[in-house]
Amino acid sequence: MADITGPSIPTTRYPMWRWAALWRELFGLAWQRMPGMVVFYFAANIVVLGGVAGTALALRWTIDATIHGDAGSAALAAVLAALAYAVNVVLADLVATPIPLIDQPAILGLLPRVLSDLAAIETLDHLERSDVLDRVTIVRRSPWMIMAGFWSSVGAVFALAQLGVTLLLLGTVSPWLLLLLAVAAVPLWCDRRGSRAVTEAELATAETFRLQQHLFELSTTPAAGKEIRVAGSAAEIVRLQAQAWQQTMNGRARASAVGAAWKFGGWLVFTAGFAAGLAVVVDGTANGAGTVGDLVMAVTVAATLRNTLHGAVTRTASVAQVSRFVEPLFWMRDHLAADRAHRTGTLVAPPVLTEGITFHDVGHTYAGTDRRALDGISVHLPAGSVVAVVGEYGSGKTTLVKVLAKFYRPDSGRVTVDGVDLADLETRAWRARISAAFQDFGRFATTFGQNVGLGDLPHLDDRERVAAAVREADADRVLRRLPDGHDTLLGRDVGGLELSEGQWQKTALARASMRPEPLLFILDEPTASLDAPSEQEIFQRHMARARELGARTGAVSVIVSHRFSTVTGADLILVLDKGRLVEAGPHDELIALGGRYADLYGIQADAYAATS
């Protein structure tokens, strides 16, 4: 069996200004929604800075007063130290987790913004390619992480300021201790190095982790459970799941160990520097340059210094971590920008089609493959016609209709609609004049009524229109079975009803029947899981509708099918083979031709021929 290896996502480095712009955007989101909280957050951080210095100074005062036998001053100083500490603890906790009051309202701004961008990419590559899908998955989770990263970076600035204040305090003990400022850079740098190793490992193991999730999902869902039980494959599935888990975790554990080694190395250097610094202070005390209070302050500050530096490191590390969420976000925004740059189309589709749709030597190759999914397709689909696309699997049928819907841009040739290049039509305006039921149609986790109504958004909740579309798709029996009719929630994930394959398919067909005046109507293998009478009924209705639309708006109906009984009545049948158009014409012509179509048709027709 093939081994399971992870993909390598190339990490791109983005220039600083992009980060700065993003940070400005994030701050803006928070400020816009919660100005008061933002002010409080910054004020609290400044108080914490003062608190750190206050605690240390009060402590020195306490010790020195004690040594001088001044009980009153010592007690007062000790009380001040306690208060400063308490203020610090409470505020530091507050500012360490700016959720939920600042973070989450800003999420409410950021998440829809990111997802809008994702939705705004007009082509489908980003949802279909494995390497790209990895990024998309990260982008989807990114708003929370990025927002947390942003506040971490603000926290990091304050942590660094606190580090500075602390070191300045040490500087009051001995100027030599100021050198620690330079030494402190070592653990900072090492920690970043370590966390980068961890990040890379997580990306490299993302694929096996997903596989593990997939196998776990299969083991625990009833649909897959049926087959797994009958085939007796449970043990093997579970074994593979455990293996994928282990592979993932081994990779990540190794990286974690590497990260720990870097981290420790950094601290080792720092500790050596600090111990040397302390020796200088002790020496100073001996020479009367300082007091025992100085020493205690230096040592105590050293303990807090560890925490302070640690805080700075973890925060900068989590800022560094956030790059793996920010980079895919930048990538997606670039991808969107590139997608937008391709959109030269500004024209709207004509109200009615007069000539039709024409393919001019159209070719398409999927990214990452070298096989031509479509190769030199030239054909004219006359206005008002019903066009059937047939061919064996993998022959390019679905690619052809996806090109029509502008889901892919042909990489050679062009498609024209009444003489206008499809590329010159504004995509959304063009799509507004298409209706379609694809083979892998959407199953939306919402009510049945909305599942249908989404086919024509302005009439989403228009009961009459929805009911008409439901009738059109022969889905009224599905509807009648639903406990709450139109308001029945569908989708198991959200606690709704799960429909059977055939019922979903009829729902999708009903959705495709919502738009009143499409210029292009696509049915991609629409009846695969329906019984004969249902299939019959649906075809009749859609044929009638196609004819009616064709007469009214000149709409072209494209039906992709491998059931030949369904395509005989089409005006034009396109026979595809390995991405090439091998035959085109009406049924009778193609039969007379005696080529591939006649061959394939013969097989099915023979099966019915003997009787009745």
What residues from 127 to 146 belong to the interface with another protein (CB under 8 A)?
127-130, 133, 136-137, 140
Q: Is 213 in the site for another protein (CB under 8 A)?
A: yes
Q: How far apart are CA 612 and CA 608, in angstroms?
A: 8
Q: How far apart are CA 473 and CA 437, in angstroms?
A: 11
Given the complex with another protein, which of 158 and 539 has the nearer CB atom? 539
**Backbone CA torsion sign across 199, 202, 204, 206:** negative
Are 252 and 198 in contact by the 8 Å Cβ rule? The answer is yes
572-577 β-sheet, strand order: 434-437, 520-524, 556-560, 386-391, 572-577, 580-585
The SS3 assignment for 357 reads strand
Q: Is 42 in the site for another protein (CB under 8 A)?
A: no
Can you tell me which of 227, 411, 461, 589 binds another protein, judged by CB under 8 A?
Answer: 227
Q: How far is the CB of 569 from another protein (least distance, A)?
A: 5
Closest CA to 60 of 282, 295, 275: 295
With residues binned 3-state (H G I as helix, E B as strand, rest as coil), the percentages for the chain, rounded to 5, are: 65, 10, 20
Closest CA to 529 of 498, 508, 558, 559: 508
Strands 580-585 and 572-577: antiparallel
Can you tell me which of 32, 42, 185, 229 binds another protein, judged by CB under 8 A?
Answer: 229
Q: Is 210 in the site for another protein (CB under 8 A)?
A: yes
Q: Is 338 in the site for another protein (CB under 8 A)?
A: no
Can you tell me which of 157, 300, 414, 595 binds another protein, judged by CB under 8 A?
Answer: 300
Given the complex with another protein, which of 12 and 500 has the nearer CB atom? 500
Can you tell me which of 142, 316, 398, 416 binds another protein, judged by CB under 8 A?
Answer: 398
Can you tell me which of 21, 279, 337, 592 binds another protein, judged by CB under 8 A?
Answer: 279
List b or e across 230-256, with b for residues whose CB sees 16 or more CB atoms inside 10 angstroms: eeebeeebeebbeebbebbeebbeebb
Closest CA to 312 of 28, 104, 49: 49
Closest CA to 379 of 356, 407, 403: 356
Given the complex with another protein, which of 60 and 324 has the nearer CB atom? 60
Given the complex with another protein, which of 20 and 231 has the nearer CB atom? 231
Which residues lie closer than 8 Å to 16 by C-beta, 6 or more apart?
none
Q: How far is the CB of 20 from another protein (least distance, A)?
A: 26
Can you tell me which of 185, 260, 338, 593 binds another protein, judged by CB under 8 A?
Answer: 260
Can you tell me which of 24, 340, 463, 477 binds another protein, judged by CB under 8 A?
Answer: 477
Residues 403-442 that bind another protein (CB under 8 A): 405, 407, 428, 431-432, 434-436, 438-442
Q: Is 367 in the site for another protein (CB under 8 A)?
A: no
Longest distance between any two alpha carbons in the chain, whole Å? 118
Residues 187-206 that bind another protein (CB under 8 A): none
Strands 572-577 and 556-560: unpaired
Q: Kindly indicate which of the ranges 149-157, 178-186, 393-401, 410-418 contains the residues binding another protein, using the contact rule CB under 8 A.
A: 393-401
Q: Is 242 in the site for another protein (CB under 8 A)?
A: yes
> What residue type is assigned to position 529 of the chain?
S
Given the complex with another protein, which of 356 and 391 has the nearer CB atom? 391
Closest CA to 538 of 508, 518, 498: 508
Helix (H) or strand (E) segment spanning residue 439: none
356-365 β-sheet, strand order: 372-382, 356-365, 412-417, 420-421
Q: Is 445 in the site for another protein (CB under 8 A)?
A: yes
Q: How far apart are CA 397 and CA 113, in angstroms?
A: 35
Which residues lie closer than 8 Å to 370 by C-beta, 6 or more apart?
none
Can you tell me which of 45, 162, 241, 513 binds another protein, judged by CB under 8 A?
Answer: 241
Given the complex with another protein, which of 73 and 172 has the nearer CB atom? 73
Given the complex with another protein, which of 324 and 431 has the nearer CB atom? 431
Given the complex with another protein, which of 229 and 552 has the nearer CB atom? 229
Are 383 and 556 in contact by the 8 Å Cβ rule? The answer is yes
List the end-to-end C-alpha distance of the chain, in Å, as a whole number: 51
Q: How far is the CB of 16 from another protein (least distance, A)?
A: 29
Can you tell me which of 18, 252, 414, 471 binds another protein, judged by CB under 8 A?
Answer: 252
Residues 75-134 that bind another protein (CB under 8 A): 75-79, 81-83, 85-87, 89-90, 94, 100-101, 104-105, 107-108, 111-112, 115-116, 118-120, 122, 124, 127-130, 133
Residues 146-185 that bind another protein (CB under 8 A): none
Q: Is 494 in the site for another protein (CB under 8 A)?
A: yes
Given the complex with another protein, which of 343 and 563 has the nearer CB atom? 563
Given the complex with another protein, which of 87 and 582 has the nearer CB atom? 87
Closest CA to 436 of 565, 557, 310, 564: 557
Q: How far is the CB of 160 from another protein (least distance, A)?
A: 19
Sequence-ordered alpha helix ranges (H) in 482-519 = 501-512
Tokens of 46: 């400044």
Q: How far is the CB of 15 from another protein (least distance, A)?
A: 28
Given the complex with another protein, which of 242 and 551 has the nearer CB atom? 242
Q: How far apart are CA 77 and CA 58, in angstroms?
A: 5
Q: How far apart are CA 581 and CA 599, in angstroms?
A: 16
Can you tell me which of 164, 468, 565, 585 binds another protein, judged by CB under 8 A?
Answer: 565
Q: Kindly indicate which of the ranges 16-24, 245-253, 351-359, 408-416 contains the residues binding another protein, using the contact rule CB under 8 A.
A: 245-253
Residues 504-543 that bind another protein (CB under 8 A): 506, 508, 511, 515, 525, 528-537, 539-540, 543
Q: Is 583 in the site for another protein (CB under 8 A)?
A: no
Q: How far is the CB of 522 from another protein (least distance, A)?
A: 9
Q: Is 579 in the site for another protein (CB under 8 A)?
A: no
- The number of residues that bind another protein (CB under 8 A) is 202
Q: At what angle do helices 206-220 and 234-286 cross, to 10 degrees?
A: 130
Q: Is 224 in the site for another protein (CB under 8 A)?
A: yes
Sequence-ordered alpha helix ranges (H) in 205-291 = 206-220, 222-231, 234-286
Residues 541-560 that bind another protein (CB under 8 A): 543
Q: How far apart are CA 469 and CA 506, in angstroms?
A: 10
